[in-house]
């Protein structure tokens, strides 16, 4: 089936300025041609489903490069979260380690169209044995032993790495996620073996005792959490994930630290993507303020300033930054949390709206290792794009004017989603909280097997 979208104002995600009067031709889920309207004559459109966009704005499908949808497994919540995000323009997401028994089926359902949801690319986790007393590891290993399942493995110097990576690969994971309590030489060995077997490697920016510099030198494809990069300049050797050195916040406030500048230069040289999760601490600060937690609020504000400073410095250094959230799926929010991350990149890190959007399109595709088929609206790419009523170059508020979401060439109308949410059937279309924070006993209010830096162990 062929489709034509005429009269678009296209911001294609390549970094080029927006173009008006553009036709996008889609065949069997792939963008066949992008050209000025005048270059696509009526005869070429005969027999094709044509939609005149009348100047509406088209951007690439958005990518959330840091989500957790199954810690603990909660299928109705996961489906509602994914559906909400999808109808907000998120066409792909990176799940950064969960109970992959559920995630794999969600990924299958999204891929074949059983769910209106982003395509899911997910990771199998590896960490040192000390990490596996974390209660979140039990939540994602129910019925088995944490650290001894293919999607979440305890690794030591004696581990058979070819077998461990093969087990991770058998989950159909896109990548191995390296989390905590591993030395630099073991991070490097895991990375080498994962790449040999065709898996990407996504790591925490500091793995403890592996430093950010060691993690980057190991050749990982991306690092997560900008605030963890500060430990490259730690005043004492790193030991374990739970024993983080104190941070001299004033030293890094200007975003011009020379030691981190050298790290960013190395990341740029290697093409290491920074999954910054930049707005995470601002969210935690708001939560602490609402709870009346003065100590937690002060801690979160300090780390928020650090996150903004380091993300901004990385961007100025030319590091590719992707847009990830690592937030609980609060379904009281009608729009994806990714919008808050993009606003933060503009308001706190100095990007223009178009530059921030590129972090969530081209940057997101790089974080997935899928830049050959995702991230831009160009001929030969997968037909993933979003139609907006308003101009996102002027303001990111335009993201809340979604009209259509196109994924793999299939068009979904935002109006249908909104009608379902408001239908008097007792359903809310997922717009309603389910109490996930209580089920995790606040072990990690930002997405269980993900960040883990928001508790007392971080300060």
Considering the domain architecture, whether residues 328 and 414 belong to the same structural domain is answered as no
Does residue 340 lie in a domain region? yes
Considering the domain architecture, whether residues 227 and 358 belong to the same structural domain is answered as yes
pLDDT of residue 458: 36
Count of domains observed in the chain: 2
**Which phi and psi (to 5°) does residue 415 adopt?**
-60, -35
Considering the domain architecture, whether residues 34 and 90 belong to the same structural domain is answered as no
Considering the domain architecture, whether residues 31 and 138 belong to the same structural domain is answered as no
Does residue 35 lie in a domain region? yes
The Cα-based distances of 69 to 74, 238, 308, 449 in angstroms read 8, 30, 26, 10
How would you class 114 by CB atoms within 10 Å of its CB: exposed for 0-12, middle for 13-18, buried for 19 or more? exposed
Does residue 240 lie in a domain region? yes
pLDDT of residue 439: 26
Does residue 388 lie in a domain region? yes
Considering the domain architecture, whether residues 255 and 265 belong to the same structural domain is answered as yes
Report the alpha-carbon distance of residue 310 to residue 349 in Å, rounded: 9
Does residue 410 lie in a domain region? yes
CATH number (domain holding residue 413) = 2.30.40.10
Q: Which two tokens stand for residue 150?
A: 């293919």
Does residue 246 lie in a domain region? yes
Considering the domain architecture, whether residues 36 and 167 belong to the same structural domain is answered as no
Considering the domain architecture, whether residues 205 and 334 belong to the same structural domain is answered as yes
pLDDT of residue 1: 80
Considering the domain architecture, whether residues 29 and 178 belong to the same structural domain is answered as no
pLDDT of residue 330: 85
pLDDT of residue 420: 84
Considering the domain architecture, whether residues 37 and 104 belong to the same structural domain is answered as no
- Which three-class secondary structure string do you get for 415-440? HHHHHHHHCCCCCCCCCCCCCHHHHC
Considering the domain architecture, whether residues 197 and 302 belong to the same structural domain is answered as yes
- Going residue by residue through the chain (459 aa), what tens digit of pLDDT does each one get? 899 999 999 999 999 999 999 999 999 999 999 999 999 998 889 999 999 999 999 999 999 999 999 999 999 999 999 999 999 999 999 999 999 999 999 999 999 999 999 999 999 999 999 999 999 999 999 999 999 999 999 999 999 999 999 999 999 999 999 999 999 999 999 999 999 999 999 999 999 999 999 999 999 999 999 999 999 999 999 999 999 999 999 999 999 999 999 999 999 999 999 999 999 999 999 999 999 999 999 999 999 999 999 999 999 999 999 999 998 778 889 999 999 999 999 999 999 999 999 999 999 999 999 999 999 999 999 999 999 999 999 999 999 999 999 999 999 999 999 988 866 543 333 332 223 322 222 233 333 344 444 333 333
Report the alpha-carbon distance of residue 457 to residue 444 in Å, rounded: 11
How would you class 97 by CB atoms within 10 Å of its CB: exposed for 0-12, middle for 13-18, buried for 19 or more? buried
- Are 35 and 47 a contacting pair, CB within 8 Å? no
Strand partners, 67: 95
Considering the domain architecture, whether residues 182 and 329 belong to the same structural domain is answered as yes
Does residue 447 lie in a domain region? no
Q: Residue 208: name the closest of 179, 173, 174 by CA.
A: 179
**Which phi and psi (to 5°) does residue 365 adopt?**
-65, -40
- CB neighbourhood size of 254 (10 A): 10
Q: Residue 75: name the closest of 131, 115, 113, 35 by CA.
A: 115
Considering the domain architecture, whether residues 213 and 343 belong to the same structural domain is answered as yes
What's 444's DSSP letter? -
pLDDT of residue 423: 63
Report the alpha-carbon distance of residue 267 to residue 411 in Å, rounded: 37
Does residue 452 lie in a domain region? no
| Orientation of helix 161-169 relative to helix 184-196, angle to 10° | 50
The Cα-based distances of 151 to 144, 184, 259, 319 in angstroms read 11, 22, 35, 30
pLDDT of residue 144: 97
Structural domain of residue 90, as residue ranges?
61-374+432-439
Report the alpha-carbon distance of residue 76 to residue 98 in Å, rounded: 16
Rounded (5°) CA angle 279-13-218 = 60
Report the alpha-carbon distance of residue 61 to residue 375 in Å, rounded: 7
pLDDT of residue 422: 66
CATH number (domain holding residue 307) = 3.20.20.140
Report the alpha-carbon distance of residue 337 to residue 350 in Å, rounded: 20
Q: Residue 87: name the closest of 338, 275, 383, 446 by CA.
A: 338
Q: Which two tokens stand for residue 383?
A: 């037909």
**Which phi and psi (to 5°) does residue 60 adopt?**
-60, 155
């Amino acid at each position: 089936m062929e489709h034509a979208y005429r009269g678009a104002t296209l911001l294609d995600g390549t970094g080029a300025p927006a173009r008006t009067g553009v036709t996008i031709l889609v065949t069997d889920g792939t963008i066949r041609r992008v050209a000025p309207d005048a270059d696509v004559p009526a005869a070429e459109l005969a027999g094709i489903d044509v939609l005149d966009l009348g100047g509406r704005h088209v951007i690439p499908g958005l990518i959330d490069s840091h989500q957790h949808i199954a810690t603990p497994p909660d299928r109705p919540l996961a489906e509602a979260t994914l559906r909400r995000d999808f109808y907000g323009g998120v066409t792909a997401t990176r799940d950064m380690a969960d109970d992959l028994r559920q995630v794999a089926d969600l990924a299958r359902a999204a891929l074949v169209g059983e769910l209106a949801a982003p395509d899911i690319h997910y990771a199998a986790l590896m960490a040192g044995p000390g990490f596996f007393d974390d209660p979140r590891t039990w939540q994602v290993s129910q019925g088995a032993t944490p650290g001894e399942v293919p999607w979440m493995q305890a690794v030591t110097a004696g581990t058979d790495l070819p077998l461990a990576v093969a087990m991770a690969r058998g989950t159909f994971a896109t990548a191995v996620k390296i989390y905590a309590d591993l030395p630099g030489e073991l991070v490097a060995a895991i990375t080498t073996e994962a790449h040999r077997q065709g898996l990407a490697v996504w790591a925490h920016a500091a793995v403890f005792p592996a430093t950010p510099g060691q993690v980057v030198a190991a050749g990982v494809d991306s690092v997560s959490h900008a605030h963890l990069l500060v430990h490259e300049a730690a005043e004492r050797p790193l030991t374990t994930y739970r024993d983080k050195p104190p941070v001299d916040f004033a030293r890094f406030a200007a975003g011009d630290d020379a030691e981190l500048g050298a790290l960013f230069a190395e990341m740029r040289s290697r093409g290491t993507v920074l999954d910054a999760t930049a707005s995470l601490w601002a969210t935690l600060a708001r939560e602490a303020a609402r709870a009346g937690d003065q100590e937690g609020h002060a801690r979160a504000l300090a780390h928020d300033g650090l996150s903004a400073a380091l993300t901004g410095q990385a961007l100025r250094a030319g590091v590719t930054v992707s847009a990830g959230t690592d937030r609980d799926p609060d379904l009281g929010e009608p729009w994806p949390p990714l919008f808050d991350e993009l606003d933060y990149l503009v308001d706190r890190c100095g990007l223009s709206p178009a530059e921030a959007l590129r972090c969530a399109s081209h940057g997101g595709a790089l974080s997935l290792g899928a830049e050959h088929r995702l991230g831009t609206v160009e001929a030969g790419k997968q037909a993933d794009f979003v139609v907006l009523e308003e101009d996102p170059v002027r303001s990111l508020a335009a993201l809340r004017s979604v009209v259509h979401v196109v994924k793999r060439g299939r068009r979904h109308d935002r109006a249908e989603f909104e009608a379902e949410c408001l239908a008097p059937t007792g359903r809310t279309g997922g717009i309603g909280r389910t109490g996930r924070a209580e089920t995790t006993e606040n072990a990690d209010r930002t997405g269980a097997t993900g960040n883990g830096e928001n508790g007392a162990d971080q300060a």
